A and B are shown apart, each in its own frame.
Chain A
Amino acid sequence: MTWRCGIAVFPGTWSERDCAHWVELAGGEPVMLWHAERELKGADLVILPGGFAHGDYLRTGAIARFAPLMAAVREHALAGGPVLGICNGFQILCEAQLLPGALLRNSCLQFRCQTTHLRVEATRGPFLSGLESGRILTMPISHGEGRYYAPPEQLLELEAHGQVALRYCGPSGELGDEYNPNGSLQHIAGVMNREGNVLGMMPHPERACEPLLGSEDGLHLLRAALALVGAS
């Protein structure tokens, strides 16, 4: 049996087809979920893909979070269902307060599309439980507003509860400003909720799913999640 991965499509979303390709390579069945609909069509896990939902006008994700579909995503998330927000999807999850913090304009003030190294910090939850802590993943980023921010007290809480999922790092896992492409606090590239079932990340795992594209590391996240969904 293959597992259904719902892929949310807002006006302005652009990585839904890339995500569908990634899901297929990982052995899942992609199902597109239109923002104006209210149901998840039986999806076992939900992906909020990258793009510029509603043009990112006002603030990234600010308008998308009010889409009818997001009510269903919230319900799914609160019931413990796996939700992954990539890039714009991460921004939407933060705006929807399903994840803590916010994503601000890159500190270099420019859009950045480049390969990054990521260090796995937390190994729980559906997407990272198959990976060992400290493992280095290679994935591209592509965003203008990816600087992770959370108020100081919330940041402490995130660290304390092991909610920092991924950090930008050097090729062998070292942390440093030269490896931080957007000025994120604590080099944070991805965070999860307290329970671990909702993950948001700026890098694009769906662009790292074939050797031809330079990396297959993105497949690990989805395979872990699909194995978990399959076991339950």
Chain B
Amino acid sequence: MTAGMATPSPAQLRELALTEEEYHHAVRQLGRVPNQLELGMLGALWSEHCSYKTSRRLLSQLSSKGPQVVVGPGENAGVVDLGEGLLCCFKIESHNHPSAIEPVQGAATGVGGILRDVFAMGARPVALLDALRFGDLTDAAQRHRFAKVVEGVGHYGNCIGVPTVGGETYFDAAYQGNCLVNAMCVGLVTAPRLLHAVARGVGNPVLLVGADTGRDGIHGATFASVQLDEGAEERRPAVQVGNPFLEKCLMEACLELAGSSALVGLQDCGAAGLTSSCAEMARRGGVGIRLDLDQVARRELGMTPYEVMLSESQERMVLVVERGRVEEVRAVFDRWELRSDVVGEVISPEELQICSGGEMVARLPLQILVEGFLPRRPRSARPEGVARDLSAPPLAAEVPWTLEEAWLRLLASPNCADTSWIYRQYDHQVGDDTVVLPGRDAAVVRLRGRPDGLALTVDGAHRSSLLDPRRGAQLAVAEAVRNLACLGARPLALTNCLNFGDPDREEVMWQLEEAVAGLADACRQLALPVVSGNVSLYNDLSGASIPPTPVVGVVGQVDDVQRLPGPGFAAPGDHIYLVGGEGAGLGGSELQRLLGEAVLGPPPELDLELERRASEAVRQLVSERVARSAHDCSLGGLAVALAECCVEGSLGAVVRLAEAPTPSDGGFDLLFGEGSGRYLLSVEPSGGVRTEEVCSHLGVPCVRVGEVGGDSVEIVGLAQIPLAAAAEARLKGIAGAMAGPVL
């Protein structure tokens, strides 16, 4: 084996993402000096991305318990039981940094990665969702980035034939430097076909299948600092180019094998490539793996063991197969014209052993590799100063618009507007199962041969999070639950993607701590187990961090897909009810953003217990078909929600609010405040009694506020806009901004 290297310089260690302390920690645990390859492998697995060394202790607060949970965090994806032996497998993951460098490929490979996580469990992906954040669309560079990310997301999903059924996109100057691209995948698998990412059975062969291994994804700089002898190697860019066609074949081949007893375990080859997939599979199975790198098919000549072990080439999977059954497994890959090679075997010592050229070139105990990292506890501190003054009035200056003007501007804000410009670029129908298309509170995908379906949503609340990250995370969960309730769905479980800045900044670490605590709290109170997740830190540019952006994806179940409410108001004369919380508030609101004001003031109040009861009431009213439409009040408050119901149903409405506006506020807070926990329901006049009964039984405030009809949207005594103007404003919000050529 190659001898250990001389103590590397701090600069060399930095290139491996290791501190001096971590280096000495490694030497101490190993009882020897690691060689270059070993150090590279340790650096990769001890990186934040693989080890969660900063966030792990926080994430332990999240509970994954619940009778419906089959697999919690720690595998490729979480799994919940849908009854009758059908399981739902899902996860959300970020691809923020790659998308900032190359938006089309970064977004595309993000989708490719999350798909692999799901089919690695034996589940057929049935839906994709995305949560995206960009800077202002008034900026040409942001328009370009937005257009290209959408193109990339669409490219991969469209080509592989998995529908992109929903998502959410926000534009805020705070994401000018760092866009966020989070992708969620949902799959279905019957219980006997569920696979695990585990290596078992000493002597069983380990296969690498799919794409050849190239130099993509390896940080050229890392390589340069360690392999000092390699001067002339051509440096490759770190941008990975996805091949959705290859992944489609890989997916079909893996799903074909999912029922086979020949397959012991399957794992996606993602971040840190072969190193992490083999180490994690072996660790889970309490065994070791010996790899012979000479057997790894390469796309390029002259690759070193270091490069092979750390390559992040896309569209590769690692399989552990029962001894003696390799040929039948390979036959499946052959049929799909995919490469498959035996590259190693399961061994009993709990080590990762790497051979190359007939020599062992690395040998690391898995306990050290996978769990030997030093947990990080950066200092955290609540920020001080006026920037986060929660007692400040949310609007510093008087609003220069009338209520009508503000209403139309909000409807035309790209954050409230119609999103068809985005989702018409995504195939959202392939599979013939999407029964509620994108653009609604949640998408619904039916389950074949059964009456029920899955309701899916992703949500985040970054502006409230900026004011109070604990509240912001809770609001994101509450919003997701509300979105599901509007389709009559019961929430089953949650996946989360925590997008934050540099945790070595005290403020960011505090945000992370608060957000995770808020998430844990909301999930507990709303009885939502957290079954999978991902953390993306260091979303910074030139010293500025993104706002704390916890994004949650929630899967729910609707009992009968034939009995879903339509997208907007259904018939003239129907009564409109405001159900749920009563508070409003402009702190962190969309109106505040449109006015160019700083993010100030108290964030929306939140009563999680009331949220739970209100969602139950709405779910019940929707499932009983008492409510003919349901929509929650979120961005832009009550007035925007009302206009949306009108536009979607092509019907006007007249609403009277009991509360009078305060003289100082003039009605802005009442109309556009973003108080949590509120829904607008439309109900046939005969359904009023039942509506009030269900709400009062659950202790949920419920007020009849108006009636559907006419050709304008009116809030009596305050504001009135023509229905056509509202529709036009909504349509132009994104499409209008994107009308010109994208450079």
Chains A and B touch (C-beta atoms under 8 A apart) = yes
The reply to whether B430 and A110 contact each other, CB–CB distance below 8 Å, is: no
User: Which residues of B lie under 8 Å from residue A17 when comparing CB positions?
Assistant: 431-432
Q: Which of A122-130, A154-162, A183-191, A206-214 contacts B (4 or more CB under 8 A)?
A: A206-214
Q: Are A21 and B432 neighbours in the complex by a CB distance under 8 Å?
A: yes
A55 interface contact, C-beta 8 A: yes
Q: In the complex, what distance in Å separates the CA atom of A206 from the CA atom of B158? A: 17
* Minimum Cβ distance to chain A for residue B355 (Å): 34
- In the complex the two chains form, is B432's CB within 8 Å of A209's CB? yes
Q: Which of A18, A110, A144 contacts B432 (CB 8 A)?
A: A18
Task: Please tell me if the beta carbons of A111 and B425 are within 8 angstroms of each other in the complex.
Answer: yes
CB of B427 within 8 A of CB of A111, answer yes
Interface residues of B in 527-543 (CB under 8 A from A): none
Interface of A toward B, CB cutoff 8 Å: 11-12, 14-15, 17-18, 21-22, 50-52, 54-57, 110-114, 140, 142, 144, 204, 206-207, 209-210, 212-213
Instruction: State whether A212 touches B562 (Cβ < 8 A).
Output: yes
How far apart are A191's CB and chain B's nearest CB, in angstroms? 23
Nearest CB in chain B to that of A53: its residue:
B245
Given contacts A51-B161, A144-B158, contact A113 B248 (CB under 8 A): no
Q: Which of A51, A57, A142 contacts B429 (CB 8 A)?
A: A142
Q: Mark B24-47, 1 if CB is under 8 A from A, else 0.
A: 000000000000000000000000
Q: Is the CB of A14 within 8 A of B160?
A: yes
Rounded to whole Å, the gap between the CB of A116 and the closest CB of chain B is 11
The 5 closest A-B pairs by CB, nearest first: A14-B161, A55-B245, A18-B432, A142-B427, A52-B159
The distance from the CB of B573 to the nearest CB of chain A, in whole angstroms, is 26
Report the Cα distance A132→B727, complex, angstroms: 36
Distance, CA A56 to CA B427, complexed state (A):
16
Residue ranges of B at the interface with A (Cβ–Cβ < 8 Å): 151, 154-155, 158-161, 243-246, 248-249, 336-337, 420, 423-432, 434-435, 446, 561-562
Q: Which of A11, A22, A111, A212 contacts B248 (CB 8 A)?
A: A11
Contacts of B434 in A (CB 8 A): 213
A12 adjacent to B245 (CB under 8 Å): yes
Residues of A within 8 A of B161 (CB): 14-15, 51-52
Question: Once the chains bind, are B561 and A52 in contact (CB under 8 Å)?
Answer: no
Asked if B446 and A111 sit within 8 Å, CB to CB, the answer is no
Complex Cα distance, B448 from A213, in Å, reads: 13
Q: Is the Cβ of B431 less than 8 Å from the Cβ of A18?
A: yes
Contact partners of A12 in chain B: CB under 8 A: 159, 245, 248-249
Is B432 a contact of A54 with CB atoms below 8 Å?
A: no
Contact in complex: B426, A14 (CB < 8 Å): no
**A52 CA / B154 CA spacing, docked (Å):** 13
Determine if B432 and A14 form an interchain contact, defined as CB atoms under 8 angstroms apart.
Answer: no
Instruction: Given A11-B248, A55-B243, A212-B446, verify A207-B425 contact (CB < 8 Å).
Output: no
Within the complex, the shortest CB–CB distance from A11 to chain B, in Å, comes to 5
Given A112-B425, A113-B428, 16 new contacts (CB under 8 A)? A11-B245, A11-B248, A18-B431, A50-B430, A52-B159, A52-B248, A54-B245, A55-B246, A111-B155, A111-B427, A112-B424, A113-B427, A113-B429, A142-B429, A207-B429, A207-B432
Distance in angstroms between the alpha carbons of A21 and B449 in the assembled complex: 12
Across the interface, name the chain A residue whose C-beta is closest to B154.
A111
The 8 Å CB contact of B336, one of A11, A51, A206, A212, is A11
Output the residue of B244, B248, B430, B432 with the most chain A CB within 10 A. Answer: B432
Please determine whether A11 and B337 come into contact, CB atoms closer than 8 angstroms.
yes
- Bound Cα distance A142, B423 (Å): 11
| Given A206-B432, A207-B432: A11 and B249 interface contact (C-beta under 8 Å) | yes
Kindly list chain A residues whose C-beta atoms are within 8 Å of the C-beta of B248.
11-12, 14, 52
| Contact call B432/A213, Cβ cutoff below 8 A | yes
Q: Would A110 and B151 be within 8 Å (CB), given that A14-B160, A55-B159, A206-B432 are in contact?
A: yes
B-chain residues with CB within 8 Å of residue A55 when the two chains form the complex: 159, 243-246
Residues of B within 8 A of A51 (CB): 161
Complex CA gap A11/B245 in Å reads: 8
Residues of A within 8 A of B249 (CB): 11-12
Residues of chain B within 8 A (CB-CB) of A52 are: 158-159, 161, 244-245, 248
Quick one: closest B residue to A20, CB to CB? B432
B161: shortest Cβ distance to chain A, in Å? 3
Closest CB in chain A relative to B78 CB, distance in Å: 25
CB-CB under 8 A from A142, the residues of chain B are 158, 427, 429-430
A212 to B446, CA, bound (A): 10
Q: How far is the CB of B609 from chain A (nearest CB, A)?
A: 36
Contacting residues, chain A, for B424 (C-beta < 8 A):
110, 112-114
Whether A111 touches B243, Cβ cut-off 8 Å, given contacts A212-B561, A213-B435, is no
A113 near B425 with CB under 8 A, answer yes
Task: Report how far A18 CA is from B430 CA in the complex, Å.
Answer: 8
Residue of B nearest to A13 (CB): B161
Q: For residue A211, which residue of chain B has the nearest CB?
A: B562
**B409 CB, nearest partner CB in chain A, Å:** 27
Contact (Cβ within 8 A) A110 B160: no
Docked CA distance A206–B425 (Å): 20
Q: Is the CB of B429 within 8 A of A140?
A: yes
Question: What is the CA–CA distance of A111 and B432 in the complex, to the nearest angstrom?
Answer: 19
Q: Which residues of A contact B160 (CB under 8 A)?
A: 14
The minimal Cβ–Cβ distance linking B159 to chain A, given in whole angstroms, is 5
What are 26 A-B contacts with C-beta separation under 8 Å? A11-B245, A11-B336, A12-B248, A14-B160, A14-B430, A15-B161, A15-B430, A17-B431, A17-B432, A22-B432, A50-B430, A52-B159, A55-B243, A57-B245, A110-B424, A110-B425, A111-B151, A111-B155, A112-B425, A113-B423, A113-B428, A114-B424, A142-B158, A212-B435, A213-B429, A213-B434
- Give the distance to chain B from A147, nearest Cβ to Cβ, in Å: 16
**B741: nearest chain-A partner, CB-CB:** A109
- CB-nearest residue of chain A relative to B564? A212
User: Could you say which of A57, A111, A112 has the most chain B C-beta atoms within 10 Å of its C-beta?
Assistant: A111
A188 vs B160: C-alpha distance in the bound complex, in angstroms? 26
Nearest-Cβ distance from residue B469 to partner chain A, whole angstroms: 36
Contact indicator A113/B244 (Cβ below 8 Å): no
Check A111/B431 contact, CB under 8 A, given A11-B337, A52-B248, A55-B243: no
Q: For B425, what are the chain A residues with a Cβ–Cβ distance below 8 Å?
A: 110-113
Report the nearest A residue to B434, measured CB to CB: A213
Chain A proximity of B457: nearest CB distance (Å): 20
| Cβ contacts under 8 Å, B155 to chain A | 111
In the bound assembly, the distance between CA atoms of A207 and B248 in angstroms comes to: 21
Which residues of chain B come closer than 8 Å to A50, judged between CB atoms? 430
CA distance A54 to B248 in the complex (A): 10
Cα(A57)–Cα(B155), bound, Å: 13
Which of B154, B248, B427, B446 has the most C-beta atoms of chain A within 10 angstroms of its own C-beta?
A: B427
Query: Cα distance A50–B163 when bound, in Å?
Result: 14
**Which single residue of chain A is at the shortest CB-CB distance from B162?**
A14
- Chain A residues in 8 Å Cβ range of B243: 55
Instruction: Point out the residues of chain B lying under 8 angstroms from A207, CB to CB.
Output: 429-430, 432
The CA-CA distance from A142 to B427 in the complex, in Å, is 6
Closest to B155 in A: A111
CA distance A207 to B437 in the complex (A): 13
CA distance A111 to B161 in the complex (A): 13
Q: Is the CB of B244 within 8 A of A111?
A: no
Task: Using CB atoms, name the residue of chain B closest to A11.
Answer: B249
- Docked CA distance A89–B608 (Å): 52
Q: Which residues of A contact B435 (CB under 8 A)?
A: 212-213
> Roughly how many angstroms separate A212 CA and B427 CA in the complex, as a whole number?
18
Q: For A144, what are the chain B residues with a Cβ–Cβ distance below 8 Å? A: 158
Give the residue among A54, A56, A110, A113 with the most B Cβ atoms within 10 A. Answer: A113
CB contacts (< 8 Å) of B337 on chain A: these are: 11
Set of chain B residues within 8 Å of A15, measured between Cβ atoms: 161, 430
Q: A112 to B561, alpha carbons, bound, how many Å?
A: 26
- Give the CA-CA distance A17 to B432 in the complex, in Å: 9
Q: How far, in angstroms, from A135 to B446 measured CA to CA in the complex?
A: 30
Instruction: Output the least CB separation between B147 and chain A (Å).
Output: 9
A113 lies within 8 A of B432 (CB) = no
Shortest Cβ distance from residue B420 to the other chain A in the assembled complex, whole angstroms: 8
Taking CB atoms, residues of chain A closer than 8 Å to B562 are 212
Most chain A CB atoms below 10 A, which of B425, B446, B562:
B425
